Amino acid sequence: MRAGKISRREFLGVARSAAIAGIVAAGVVGGIAGYVGGSSAAPPKTITATTTVTGAARTITETRTVTQTVSGAVEPLKVGYVYVGPVGDYGWSYGHDRGRRWADEHFGLPVKSFYRESVPEPEVGSAIETLIDEGAKLILTTSFGFMDATAEYAAKYPDRYFVHISGYRSGAAGNAPENMSAAFAEFYQLYYLNGLAAGAVTETGVVGYVGAYPIPEVVRHINAFVLGANYAYKKRTGKNIKAHVNWIFSWVAPDAARKAAIALIEEKNCDVIAFTEDTPSVLQVAEEYWKKGKKVWSFSHYSDMREYGPNAHLTGQIANWGPIYLDFYRMVATNSWISVDIWARIGDYTPYRWRRPVEKSTAGQPEGVVYLAPLNPAIPSEWQILIKQKYEEMKELLFEPFSVEGNLGEPIRDQNGEVRIKAGERADHDMLWNMDWLVEYIEEPLPKA
């Protein structure tokens, strides 16, 4: 944890991605010519071009014949991706593939990217080997469980570059070489805003969560969601929120997610349900209840899922991995690689990182790497205003969910009543990255991962 407040200058220094973007931009200016000049697939050739030039102070034109040497076609940068799920899951792997296509489109130079999908953790090594055989210079692995294998193959292939998503730059065993980086698009801030929306609309005072695995990433998202829900609900009613979690122990399991959501509604009386599962199943369940005359709300996850719940969709968390991937494309292309650990939050990779006034808030609009899905007009206006205010404040880290300010001035306690965050403190990166406790408003204990 970090005690006390920090200055605006320090706020700006927190987001590594902004600094990295500046380094990469400088590398592009200085190194792009070297990439183009050194990547010709065909030998240089001499051509003769005829141009007509009009003098600035006269009307006479003259024809000049200029002979120049041009290089052959630029060899594409080859980039390989390893996905843990199918690209059609509409969640995590679909989001990464959408980011891959975005980076390809915005690179500005020839690039050829390809991927292996639905790769089990024990098979990530063979997937990496396949990508290398296809000529990949840059390889990105997109699951926490791929971390050790990524570090191993980075050491085995020092002439290639590797990026691991959702892990540590050093690798779990601390053995990652300098040709490996780490990156993540972080959602806990957005989950808190989802919680504010949930607490603003719930009629039962009970919210639910369908969780994939009880790992720190999911745990901090659940806690943030419940803290936000309690803030809004207690402000409205003076009562604490009740929260329930159903675990399905899978990233992609639409049937299990569906059953878990129905159980939360039928057995626990939840009328707002968030989730970490890579399909729209939970949102679809909520929409089905709407059609039966019962208001149940849910969210988008990684992608805009409004079409699956036009009535039930409150808002949600959306990621565009493309700007992060584009950074690594440029580093490799310009020979400006540095080993980095990017943790992108609200406001990172945006052209204007300062907070805006509420009436000009970009909440609900695509921007940067992580952003909020559109807000349902059913959210009362005073809560929409607060959500937009907090969204803007989080761009400068003026507000953080894991603080007493995020819990109505009360210390944040775990299920055993132990104070985890007290006045003047915020959860720092290490606490968030290793979170293994649930906040006091959640009924079920945390199972072992």
For residue range 38-78, list pLDDT tens digits in order.
443 334 444 344 333 333 333 344 444 444 444 456 799 99
pLDDT tens digits along 411-435: 999 999 999 999 999 999 999 999 9
Pairing mode, if any, of strands 61-70 and 45-54?
Answer: antiparallel
Q: Which pLDDT value is given to residue 167?
A: 84
d(CA 116, CA 262): 33
Q: Which pLDDT value is given to residue 333?
A: 97
- Please state which of the ranges 165-179, 198-212, 219-233, 368-382 shows the lowest mean pLDDT: 165-179
Q: Which pLDDT value is given to residue 173?
A: 62
pLDDT tens digits along 20-30: 444 444 344 33
How many H helices and E strands in the chain?
Answer: 12, 18
Concatenated DSSP letters of 423-449: TTEE--HHHHHT----BTTB-SPPPP-
Residue range 163-186: mean pLDDT, rounded: 85
Query: Which has more pLDDT, 17 or 446?
Result: 446
Pairing mode, if any, of strands 180-185 and 161-165?
Answer: parallel
In Å, how far are 34, 199, 382, 404, 423 from 409, measured between CA atoms? Answer: 55, 17, 20, 5, 8
What backbone phi and psi angles, to 5 degrees, belong to 413? -115, 155
**Of 133, 89, 145, 139, whose CA–CA distance to 115 is shortest?**
139
**Of 373, 364, 198, whose CA–CA distance to 300 is shortest?**
373
Name the pTM for this structure. 0.84
Domain at 2-33+74-186+322-344, CATH from 2.60.40.10, 3.40.50.2300, 3.90.1150.220, 1.10.3720.10: 3.40.50.2300
- Please state which of the ranges 66-80, 378-392, 401-415 shows the lowest mean pLDDT: 66-80
Q: What percent of the chain has pLDDT over 90?
A: 78
Q: With 90 as the cut, is the pLDDT of residue 324 above it?
A: yes
Q: So what's the architecture of 188-317+366-433 in CATH?
A: 3-Layer(aba) Sandwich (3.40)
Q: Do domains 2-33+74-186+322-344 and 188-317+366-433 have the same CATH topology?
A: yes
Mean pLDDT, rounded, of the chain: 87
Pairing mode, if any, of strands 412-413 and 419-421?
Answer: antiparallel
**Of 32, 49, 71, whose CA–CA distance to 336 is shortest?**
32
Both tokens of residue 309?
Answer: 């719940």
Going from N- to C-terminal start, the domains of the chain cover 2-33+74-186+322-344, 188-317+366-433
Q: What percent of the chain has pLDDT over 70?
A: 83
Residue range 209-223: mean pLDDT, rounded: 97
Q: Which pLDDT value is given to residue 175?
A: 73
Under a CB-based contact definition with an 8 Å cutoff, are residues 341 and 183 in contact? yes
Can you tell me which residue has the tokens 């969210």? 299
Concatenated DSSP letters of 86-144: -GGGSSHHHHHHHHHHHHHHHS-S-EEEEEE-S--GGGHHHHHHHHHHTT-SEEEE-SG
Q: With 50 as the cut, is the pLDDT of residue 91 above it?
A: yes
Q: With 70 as the cut, is the pLDDT of residue 163 above it?
A: yes
